[in-house]
A and B are shown apart, each in its own frame.
Chain A
């Protein structure tokens, strides 16, 4: 079983709609999590850090459920520019190792 797993998608989303997807992790010692956004053929860029139970940043909301060992990302009022691959990342207890999920592809269409 992979340490961090994601549904690869793609999630086809009408512009203006809400989309949510999850990421599951197997290492219960993982301290913190991140969502990175990656555009085609580009490097990943930090979208959100997920502390404690979760946080919100504009149209994006991340939730952490430690009991069930998953992290979710919700995007409200989807924009065409939200089309990308979203990578879930777990940070180890020692803070020194980042483990990436395989990514979830989101396609926002007019």
Chain B
């Protein structure tokens, strides 16, 4: 089955530690996105990538880093510079063309700082 997979589902991070969240898709989508969601809030864009080896900062990129070495994969690293990383992280992918398209989401990763 085609889809987008995030792992792990739950992640605990110690203060000062970097952690990497995985996002893999087999939908052959060009664009991939990382969003952060805080309780009772909407989704805020962290980073996005439209093509391999290229990515752009979203609205809240500070304290995060990404890579896009393969079309299928878009991992997100939450660095120690991110002062309040506890949140629900969602990865999405979609095709990129000039028409209208749908974004598909992974099931999310809940990150908690302990």
Chain A residues within 8 Å of chain B by Cβ, number: 25
Once the chains bind, are A99 and B45 in contact (CB under 8 Å)?
A: yes
Chain B residues positioned under 8 Å from A51 (CB to CB): 100
Closest to B6 in A: A43
- Count the B residues whose beta carbon is within 8 Å of the partner chain — how many? 27
Docked complex Cα distance between A64 and B1 (Å)? 34
Which of these, B31, B90, B99, contacts A96 with CB under 8 Å? B31
Q: Are B45 and A97 touching (Cβ within 8 A)?
A: yes
Contacts of A99 in B (CB 8 A): 45
Contact A98 B92 (CB under 8 A): yes
Tally of A-B Cβ pairs under 8 angstroms: 54
- Give chain B nearest CB distance to A46 CB in angstroms: 5
Select which of B41, B99, B103, B107 is within 8 A of A98 by beta carbon: B103
**In the complex the two chains form, what is the Cα distance from A31 to B98 in whole Å?**
10
- Complex contact B42–A95 (CB within 8 A): no
Chain A, Cβ-Cβ closest to B59 = A99
| Given known A43-B106, A43-B108, A45-B105, contact A95–B43 (CB-CB < 8 A) | no
Known: A44-B90, A96-B31. A102 touches B41 (CB 8 A): yes
A42 is an interface residue with CB less than 8 A from chain B:
yes
Question: Smallest Cβ distance from A48 to chain B, in angstroms?
Answer: 10
Within 8 A of A (CB), among B78-114: 88, 90, 92, 94, 96-103, 105-108
Known A95-B97, A100-B35, A100-B42: A46·B102 in contact at CB below 8 Å? yes
Whole-angstrom distance between the alpha carbons of A35 and B99 in the complex? 17
CA distance A44 to B31 in the complex (A): 17
Q: Which parts of A10-46 form the interface with B (CB within 8 Å)? A: 31-32, 34, 41-46
Which residues of B have CB within 8 Å of A101?
A: 42
User: Is there contact, CB below 8 Å, between B90 and A95?
Assistant: no
CA distance A34 to B101 in the complex (A): 10
| B73 lies within 8 A of chain A by Cβ | no
Interface status of B64 (Cβ within 8 A of chain A): no
Whether a CB of chain A sits under 8 angstroms from the CB of B50 is yes
A108 to B64, CA, bound (A): 38
